[in-house]
Amino acid sequence: MRTRLKLKPGQRGTKKLQAMYGDRLVCVRYRYDAEQGRRLKTIELIVEEKEWSPRDRYESVEAGFDHMAADQLASATRLVETSGSCVSTLTDTAL
């Protein structure tokens, strides 16, 4: 199945859905199934809205963080490449 068209609310092909769902409508997609010979119209809706404020990632990580211990651990840690994924292992000096 392939998506050929993604439309924003208000564009041609979205008018009836926009009238039904209003501001909750995010987009309309037309998907085509070559095997079945069908066109599907799908929609994306907003179903919930809450207030949210992003945290500063770096500020929250640094609170209560021992930089000296982290440096020692980082120097004792080496990355080993195994079958396409990165695995962190500790050397004997860190233990």
Residues 62-74: pLDDT tens digits? Answer: 555 566 666 666 6
Q: Strand, coil or helix: what is 77?
A: strand
- Binned at pLDDT 50, 70 and 90, residue 82 comes out as very low
Average pLDDT score over residue span 19-23:
94
More confident call, 67 vs 11? 11
Domain that residue 30 falls in: 2-45
pLDDT at 42 over 50: yes
Q: Is residue 12 part of a domain?
A: yes
Distance CA 89, CA 80 (A): 7
Q: What is the dihedral of CA 17, 20, 22, 24, to 10 degrees?
A: -80
Domain count along the chain: 1
Distance CA 7, CA 29 (A): 6
Q: Is residue 22 part of a domain?
A: yes
Instruction: Output the pLDDT for position 5.
Output: 86
Q: Is residue 41 part of a domain?
A: yes
Distance CA 63, CA 4 (A): 48
HSE on the CB side for 53, CA within 13 Å?
A: 1
* Single pTM value for the model: 0.52
Q: Is residue 39 part of a domain?
A: yes
